[in-house]
C-alpha cells in the first residue's frame, strides 16, 4: 500500500531578536531556515515549510504557525518525538498535530492578532531594549484608544503599509476586528486583530496611535486616517522589538 502523506500543523513561539526574520535567507539565521534544517536532519530530505506570518527581523512571536507535508505517519511520529528537543533556546514548539490535506498555515488563516508594547519610564530597564519601546514621557491612553478605534473596520490601508515586492498586486484592503490600547502599571499595549496585514502596517499604526497619545494629532486627523498619503504620522515605522505576533486563528 502506498504511504499516505500527512499534513502537519506546528505552533511555535520565538524570540525574534536572535534572527533575521521568519523568512529563510541565505547564510543568515531565520525561523523558517531553522525549522527546515531540523526537519531535514530528522527526515533525511528537504521539507518546505509555510508560515502563517513572515515576521520581520526583531519581531517576536508568542504564537505563529507553520505547516508542512510529511511522507507518512511513521515519519510524523518521528518528527513529533525528535523535533522539539532540536530547537534552539530562542524557539519553542508549542504543538504539533495532523491537519486536513487542504490546510495551509498561511492561506487558511482567519484572524491574526498583534501587540505593540510601550514601557513607561518607571518600568524601563536596559534588559527590555530588544522587547519594547521606551516611553520617556507620559501619554494619554484615552486619546490613543480613540485613534485606535478610528482604524476599525474595512479600509484601504495602503497609507499605512508597504507593498510586498513578492506580491505587488496584493489587495491593500484589510478588515480590523479589534484595535485597543491597554494600560498597566508599567506598560501601554496596542492590541490589534485583523484578517490580514500589509508589510510594516502594524508598526505604522502603533506610531500613529502613539502620536495621538503624545498630543501630536487630534480627532480630525485620526478620523481622516485613510484620506490619503499625506495624513501625518502614517509612514513612520516603530522599532521591531516592541512588536509581538500574539495569536493566529483558523476557522
Candidates 216, 245, 78, 106; CA nearest to 167 is: 106
Residue appearing with cell numbers 510594516 = 200
- Out of 11, 15, 56, 230, the active site residue is 56
DSSP character at residue 234: S
C-alpha cell at 209: 496611535
Q: Based on the residue annotation, tell me whether 142 is a catalytic residue of this protein.
A: no
Cβ contacts of 114 within 8 Å, gap of 6 or more:
191, 192, 193, 197, 202, 243, 244, 245, 246
Cβ neighbour number for residue 110 with a 10 Å cutoff: 11
Check the annotation: does 114 bind a ligand.
yes
Contact 123, 187 (CB under 8 A): yes
Helix pair angle (201-213, 141-149), 10° resolution: 140
Catalytic residues: 56
- Residues annotated within a binding site for substrate: 114
- Give the residue ranges of the annotated binding site: 114
Amino acid at each position: 500500500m502506498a504511504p499516505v502523506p500527512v499534513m502537519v500543523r506546528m505552533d511555535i513561539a520565538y524570540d525574534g531578536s536572535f534572527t533575521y526574520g521568519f523568512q529563510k535567507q541565505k547564510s543568515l539565521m531565520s525561523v523558517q531556515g531553522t525549522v527546515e534544517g531540523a526537519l531535514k536532519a530528522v527526515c533525511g530530505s528537504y521539507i518546505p515549510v509555510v508560515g502563517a506570518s513572515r515576521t520581520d527581523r526583531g519581531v517576536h512571536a508568542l504564537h505563529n504557525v507553520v505547516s508542512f507535508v510529511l511522507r507518512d505517519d511513521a515519519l510524523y511520529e518521528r518528527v513529533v518525538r525528535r523535533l522539539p528537543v532540536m530547537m534552539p533556546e530562542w524557539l519553542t514548539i508549542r504543538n504539533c498535530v495532523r491537519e486536513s490535506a487542504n490546510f495551509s498555515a498561511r492561506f487558511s488563516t482567519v484572524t491574526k492578532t498583534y501587540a505593540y508594547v510601550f514601557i513607561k519610564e518607571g518600568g524601563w530597564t536596559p534588559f527590555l531594549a530588544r522587547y519594547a519601546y521606551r516611553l520617556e514621557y507620559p501619554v494619554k491612553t484615552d486619546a490613543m484608544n480613540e485613534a485606535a478605534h478610528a482604524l476599525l473596520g474595512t479600509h484601504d490601508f495602503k497609507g499605512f503599509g508597504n507593498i510586498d515586492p513578492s506580491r505587488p498586486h496584493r489587495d491593500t484592503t484589510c478588515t480590523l476586528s479589534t484595535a485597543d490600547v491597554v494600560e498597566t502599571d508599567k506598560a501601554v499595549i496596542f492590541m490589534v486583530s485583523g484578517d490580514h496585514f500589509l508589510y510594516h502596517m502594524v508598526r505604522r499604526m502603533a506610531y500613529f496611535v502613539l502620536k495621538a497619545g503624545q498630543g501630536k494629532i487630534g480627532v480630525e486627523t485620526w478620523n481622516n486616517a485613510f484620506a490619503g498619503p499625506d495624513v501625518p504620522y502614517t509612514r513612520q515605522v516603530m522599532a521591531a522589538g516592541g512588536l509581538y505576533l500574539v495569536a493566529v486563528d483558523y476557522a
